[in-house]
Amino acid sequence: MSTSHEPTPGMEKHPLFHPPEETLRNAHVQDYVKVYQESIDDPAGFWGRIATELEWFTPWTSVLDWDPQTYTGRWFPGGTTNISHNALDRHVAKGYGNKVALIWSGDSGEERVITYSQLLDSVERLCHGLHSLGLEKGDRVSIFLPPTPEQVISMLACARMGLIHSVVFSGFSEAALKSRMEDAQPKLLITADAGFRRGKEIPLLQTARAARTGILSIRNTLVVRRKDPRFPVDASSGEKAFDELLEKNRKKGSFPPAPMGADDPLFILYTSGTTGKPKGIVHVQPGYMVGTYLTTRWVFDIRDSDVYFCVADPGWITGHSYIVYGPLLNRTTVLMAEGAPDWPDPGRWWKLIEKYRVTVFYSTPTAVRLQMRHGEKWPSGHDLSSLRLLGSVGEPINPEAWMWFRNVTGGRLPIMDTWWQTETGMHMITPLPATPLVPGSATKPFPGVEVDIVDKNGNPVPDGESGLVVIKKPWPAMFRTVFKDPDRYRQYWTEIPGMYFSGDSARRDSSGFYHLIGRIDDVIKVAGHRLGTAEVESALVSHPAVAEAAVIGKPDSLKGESLKAFVILRQGKKPETEEELSSLRKDIRHHVREELGAIAQPDEIEITDWLPKTRSGKIMRRVLRARELGLPEGDTSTLED
């Protein structure tokens, strides 16, 4: 039963939704206030207790070794473990080998079901194969695959051997893949002959082949034959068929997991920042394992009977933490879907929920708003009674979308609006199933996480006022560094000295609920995808007709934000007619697609003769945005003219 109830005097007045009885009864965390307080009073005791729920090869000597000079947090130093051992072997050894680990639904309706034993077997065979290719602990492996079981198997095999995976979203372009590989210097690239979306083939191998030219570190390319099981790989350039490598190692038996300590990386995941160059966020095994294990367990109240469906792609952090590692560490049955939410029709996801009796559904605000546009008839045409919990991630969810999501799924399910980042690795501000909810608020910090809202100098701002979101204490799944760029890592901690600065702004209300507003830096979230304005601008200026460019985010009723580009053309490139102008705009959009990928294409392109700049020549996007949206321009004293 959900009940709106009267707020306590002196507290913010907003509708509070309480969990159904059944949720309360079964919740892992019954008393949030008490658990939170204990976790903050004794973080080492708290995280240490959780870590003992997982298996270690050698016990840690302390929970955290924090260096305030370099902002390095070494979690569970002295201990060794392996995340693939904890996600696979641990369950099989306890007799859960026949439990389903992965249900995969392909773009055109194909289906695969894989048990924990089968997943472990494939992972070990791949490890033997990777070992035979000469890969060793610490080597990087770039994974450019569609969301398929092979993507998960590849990640887990790397984790098992101590190889560092760098998954690149399969919607990225050749140039985007290349620049990520130039930075990571992988020895191996894993890709597929093709991917599929809306029934259309995506030529991944063609992109991968072009991107790998000139990257001398790459010795081999493993090709998953997703489209054609007889596809001829090019052995002369080091290509090998993924299935053949697995077949060759069929009878090799187990492959021992590498002991991974507090400093041993699990993966690099590239994400956008304020400069044109994406940053390689590095996560290490032990801390990331403990953080994703616990957040999955508590935020989704994982039980053995669950079928858990997360709509992300493992190409992003949500897929890393909450399709692959967190759920498998909790011995969950994970449903993974390739393709678009509204293809072949807008009922796709609802149909999957009915078919597989999904219990936990973790979606995104943009997907919810898209479903809202298609209308209630799609969810209402399906039996969604198996659902017991919903989730949202990636961008703020507006209260209308929140209410719609709740109403079409029966009007009683709690929604976990989870705020976190690639860098944090795990949920940071989030409800728990038994805590009260406010539509549009991520509610309160997860146990063990200390959040505050401060001004530029690090002073807390009064409740009700907006400020910057900071994390005041280290947390286990915190990123370790930015690959090959320790200065960029340090910047996160020095912007506001001694605290981790998230780049987000938010307001905390008088009842202690957090309301996330958005990024304050030059990062834009378009349909939940994280893009850097500088990245898109550098793609724009590489077009032969473009001299200068500036990109801003505009509020968008579907995607949260949309991209608008202001472009100054080169001399002599000005179109004469309307037709020429429209074809130039099209061409520029196409160019950005080629340079970065479809998700980065500007929605609007305005040709202009002037861009607001500081005297030192920096484009003032803030001013452009204010003018575009009719907002006050703020301080323009540094404007050049």
Does 435 interact with ligand WTA (rule: CB under 6 A)?
A: no
Determine if 165 is a binding residue for ligand WTA (CB under 6 A).
Answer: no
- The reply on whether position 475 binds ligand WTA by CB under 6 A is no
Closest approach of ligand WTA to the CB of residue 441, in Å:
9
What does 171-235 look like in DSSP terms, one character per residue? TB-HHHHHHHHHHH--SEEEEES-EEETTEEE-HHHHHHHHHTT-TT--EEEEE-SS-TT----G
CA distance 36 to 16: 20
Sign of CA dihedral 226, 230, 231, 236: positive
**C-alpha to C-alpha distance for 472 and 452, rounded to whole angstroms:** 7
Nearer to ligand WTA, 405 or 420 (CB): 420
At closest approach, how far in Å is the CB of 421 from ligand WTA? 4
**Does 559 sit near ligand WTA (CB under 6 A)?**
no
Structure tokens at 225: 């034959």
Q: Which stretch binds ligand WTA (CB under 6 A): 56-64, 150-158, 169-177, 414-422?
A: 414-422
Asked whether position 225 contacts ligand WTA by CB under 6 A, the answer is no
Q: Is 422 in the site for ligand WTA (CB under 6 A)?
A: yes
Closest approach of ligand WTA to the CB of residue 398, in Å: 10
Which of 183, 450, 452, 504 lies at the binding interface for ligand WTA (CB under 6 A)? 504
CB of 299 to ligand WTA, least distance (A): 12
DSSP, res 476: T
Binding segment for ligand WTA (CB under 6 A), chosen from 113-121, 202-210, 412-420, 623-631, is 412-420
Q: Which runs of consecutive H residues, i.e. helices, occur in 453-527?
A: 486-494
* Residue 221 near ligand WTA by CB under 6 A: no
- Can you tell me the distance from the alpha carbon of 252 to that of 86, in angstroms, rounded to the nearest whole number? 21
Cα separation, 229 vs 150, in Å, equals 14
503 binds ligand WTA (CB under 6 A): yes
- Choose between 63 and 526: whose C-beta lies nearer to ligand WTA: 526
Q: Which one of residues 502, 533, 562, 601 is an interface residue with ligand WTA (CB under 6 A)? A: 502
Site for ligand WTA contains 81 (CB under 6 A)? no
Non-local CB neighbours of 187 within 8 Å, separated by 6+ positions: 134, 135, 139, 140, 141, 217, 218, 219, 220
DSSP assignment of 22-82 equals HHHHH-S-S-HHHHHHHHHH-HHHHHHHHHTTS--SB--S-SEEEETTTTEEEESTT-BB-
- Report the candidate in 227, 220, 84, 218 with the shortest Cα–Cα distance to residue 146: 227
Instruction: Return the amino acid letter for 547.
Output: A
Neighbours of 93 (CB within 10 A): 11
The residue from 89, 306, 338, 417 that contacts ligand WTA (CB under 6 A) is 417
Per rule CB under 6 A, is residue 418 in the interface with ligand WTA? Answer: yes
The least CB distance from residue 523 to ligand WTA, in Å, is: 7
Task: Report in angstroms how near the CB of residue 166 gets to ligand WTA at its nearest.
Answer: 15
Gap between the Cα atoms of 622 and 619, Å rounded? 9
Residue from 442, 563, 596, 620 in contact with ligand WTA (CB under 6 A): 442
Residue 85 contacts ligand WTA per CB under 6 A: no
Q: In the complex, which residues of this chain contact ligand WTA (CB under 6 A)?
A: 271, 317-318, 393-396, 417-422, 442, 502-504, 516, 518-519, 525, 530
